[in-house]
Structures are given as structure tokens and as C-alpha cells.
Amino acid sequence: MYRAKRAALSPKVKRRVGKYELGRTIGEGTFAKVRFAKNTENGEPVAIKILDKEKVKRHRLVEQIKREICIMKLVRHPNVVRLFEVMGSKARIFIVLEYVTGGELFEIIATNGRLKEDEARKYFQQLINAVDYCHSRGVYHRDLKLENLLLDAAGNLKVSDFGLSALTEQVKADGLLHTTCGTPNYVAPEVIEDGGYDGATADIWSCGVILFVLLAGYLPFEDDNIIALYKKISEAQFSCPSWFSAGAKNMITRILDPNPTTTRESRFLRYWSILGSKRGTSLLFLTRNIKLAWMTWMLLLEIQKTGM
């Protein structure tokens, strides 16, 4: 009786992993849970993704987890969730990540509806900066969607969840990736068609879907029937609402064109001819760079203002 009372009065011992003191669970999935934690050396908050090794092995996810960790070590960018370190025990893997407090961009849209164009442009710029950086490191995300875009305390966008990402070395002899993956509403038509796809241009398509949602408040492609949904995507069956500016509408319709060659690499050649002649810009470089999307939008705004 006495011992029981003493135990009840004793302060609860907090669990630690390395230099991190674990707190509440902030997310949970089939193979992992995410817990808030604090770095006891500097007091900084972090998020620790905890994976059960047995479940990972049972579902043959070992290589995928290794690849995700490898990729996150490769990418260090202000608009990408940062990996601090990886630790392991006999039964678990601990992935220590930047703690992002602002929630998902999806929640903002679901709660408040569509964004003003200036605000959408800010997030889109940060998104393509991050994705362009990833591509420069030979990383293709392959699951870009609002749920994987987080906001920090200052309202800056952070790309997260590289679980389905691919590296350049996964490209086959034909120069393409062949694994069909991603979230149906955001996936590019060439990914669905199973004939191989370029990881960078597939990511650009997903960025176009995201931009549409930011400006419209709903998805461009929706259907309860997956076959019907894929048909809409493959045929680009969508329309921009009346409140889209001419520049935003022009850009989105060019990005969300089923032909990746004509739309997501060469789609803005005419506008870049104007800009390139003025600034001596390499058109070959620009047509292979995702920043093309952002810069073209800005150019279209300038064209509208000046009548160029």
C-alpha cells in the first residue's frame, strides 16, 4: 500500500531517444507513428517518425525506407522539411525531422476555401523552388499534393513525405521511370498510361493541380469511379472558373495538358523567346527547368500590364 502511494506521487519518467525527450503522438499510420519531441541540448522542438522494424520487413518496405532516408539526406532547402538524423534500436527506426507547426495547406483550403491570387502565387513560388531544387539533386517526389505541403510558423511552405520519391538511378534504359504511384487526383496522365514517364514533368503536372486547387478551392479532376477519373485526367477534362486571371488560366491550361513534351517542357517557348532575347537567357535550359512555370506566370502578368 505504501509503495503504491509512493509510486503514484512520483513524477512520470519521460521516455528519451538519444538526446530527444519524447512527447505526445501527433500522427499515426499503418507502419509508423510521429511523436513530438524536444532536443534536450538546445530545447528545439522536433518531430520523430517511429517505424516498427518488424512491420517494415513484413511488408517488404526496407528498400523504400532506405531510399526515403537517402533522399532526405540529399535535399536541404528552406522549403523542404529537414531531416536531422536517423537512429535505431533493436525493434524500431527513429527518423528525426523538422517540426512544422502551421499544419497542412490542405487544411487551410478545406477550412477557408480558395486563396487570393497573390497568396496562391507565393505558395506556388515556394513549391516550385523546392521541387526545382529536388530535381537538380536527381530527386523526383512523385506524390506532390496539398496534404504533403506543410506551413511553418511564419507561413512558409515546406514539402514533406518523400516515401514514394525516386532517384535518377532508378530511371530505366529508355530514360524513364516505370513505377505507377502517386495520389490519383494529382497524378500525371503519362504515369497512368504505364508506358514510362519523366519524373520531373510528372511532378510539374502535380504542381499544376495544386495551383488549380489553391485558386479554385476544389480539384480539377474528380470522380468516384477511378476509371472515369483517369479518363478525365488523360483527356484533361477540366475548366477554369471565371475568377481565374488570364495569366493563371493560361498557365494552368498549359501545365495540365496531357502531352508532357509539348506542354511541360516547350509550352512557353513563345514567351521565353521574348524574355530570352531581352536577357540573353538559354531557352534550352529554361524549357527543362520547373522554374519556367513561375517565371512565365510573372511574364504573363507583365505582358498584361504593358500590352507587350
| 143 labelled catalytic | yes
SS3 279: helix
Residue tagged active-site, from 52, 118, 132, 143: 143
> How far is 159 from 77, CA to CA, in rounded Å?
10
- List Cβ neighbours of 128 (8 Å cut-off, separation of 6 or more): 207, 290, 291, 293, 294
Q: What angle do CA 181, 182, 188 make, to 5 degrees?
A: 95
Backbone angles phi, psi at 151, to 5 degrees: -120, 135
Is 49 labelled as part of a ligand binding site? yes
Q: Are 131 and 75 in contact (CB under 8 A)?
A: no
Q: What angle do CA 140, 142, 148 make, to 5 degrees?
A: 110
Q: Which residues are annotated as a binding site for ATP?
A: 49
Catalytic residues: 143
